[in-house]
Amino acid sequence: MRRVALIAAAVFVFTQTMSVGLGADQQVPQGQGGAAAQGRQGGQGRQGGQQGQGAQQGQGGNNVQDVVGGVNTPQQNGGGRAGQGGGRGRAAGPPPKPAPRDANGRAILWGYTPQEKGVWLPGSGITITTPIAKYETIPFQPWAKALYDFRQTNELEPHTRCKASGFSRQFETPYGVEFVNLPELDRMYIFDIGGPHTYRTIYMDGRTHPSDLKPTYYGHSIGWWEGDTLVVDTVGYNETFWLDRRGLPHTNQLHTEERFTRINYNEIKYETVVDDPGAYTQPWKGGFNLPGNRAPNCSSTCASRRTTRPS
């Protein structure tokens, strides 16, 4: 009992000392709760007892503007809960640096910088629970909706059995992708870092799609530049992969357009248009951002350590 009394007295003296030591100009305003009030970078906290505006309420630094799975998904620089007082908020971080450019002045997708290799990862909000567009905006045909619903409880995705994945699903693996530009061949390649270690070819020489395509996982892709945006048009997909991690179905009538834009030093904006009259009643749009990573990735290997092209 004596020990408890001594501890209680010490705590009382300490709290009294702290209250005296803090003058009126040193009191911590309520609502500026560190990273909570202003996000990690770029959020705006409120003062005077109101809640701060972090990632959930405020204006985080690099928030994804595309809607993924029905919610605006913060990227690397958002974050933090609403401020609840207790500490001074951090100052807003500097804006991201501009996209690096090649000798011709074009923002690069290949490499983190012209001198450094790098990979592009799925955004922090891209998970198995988030489709590439708002669910309620996807114009399913009845059979496609039924199959999508079935896949929510029967997650037998081909990618998990080491099958290549075309379209958006290629960019939703945890290990990311790497763009390789070979202008002397008029081709761009997109390599999967993990999984079955496959790659996709984009023909940049002005050709059109052949009329006698054999369906494949990645289809037949042709590309061109519109300013800093790489535009990729693809047909000839097979039906043995999912469009995204959530299980969006498609048919061999699938025709896609993808747009890749290096919006700053840290991110590529990925925008898509899906046109598949076999599975959907009209074309629809989706997309997300791809954060960059210059560090080497530890990749998983399904079948072998050798990069192969899917049939």
Percent of the chain with pLDDT over 70: 62
Q: Sign of torsion, CA 276 126 113 294?
A: negative
* Residue-averaged pLDDT of the chain: 73
- What pLDDT is attached to residue 194? 74
Average pLDDT over residues 68-72: 35
pLDDT digits (tens, 9 = 90+) for 178-199: 999 999 999 999 998 877 788 9
Secondary-structure breakdown of the chain: helix, strand, coil percentages, each rounded to the nearest 5: 20, 25, 55
pLDDT band at 89 (very low <50, low <70, confident <90, very high): low
- What pLDDT is attached to residue 128? 57
CA distance 112 to 52: 34
CA distances from 168 to 77, 173, 243, 270 (A): 23, 10, 6, 9
- At 233, which amino acid appears? D
Domain ranges for the chain, please list them: 34-95, 119-293
CA distance 298 to 17: 52
- What pLDDT is attached to residue 257? 98
Average pLDDT over residues 163-186: 88
- What pLDDT is attached to residue 294? 75
Q: Which residue is it, tokens 């995204």? A: 244
**Strands 199-203 and 187-192, sheet pairing:** antiparallel
* Comparison of pLDDT for 92 and 208, the residue scoring more: 208
- 119 contact partners, CB below 8 Å, separation of at least 6: 175, 176, 177, 178, 193, 292, 293, 297
Average pLDDT over residues 152-156: 83
pLDDT band at 160 (very low <50, low <70, confident <90, very high): confident
pLDDT digits (tens, 9 = 90+) for 235-287: 999 999 988 888 899 999 999 999 999 999 999 999 999 999 999 999 999 99
Q: Picking from 76-85, 135-144, 150-159, 167-176, which range would have the lowest pLDDT averaged per residue?
A: 76-85
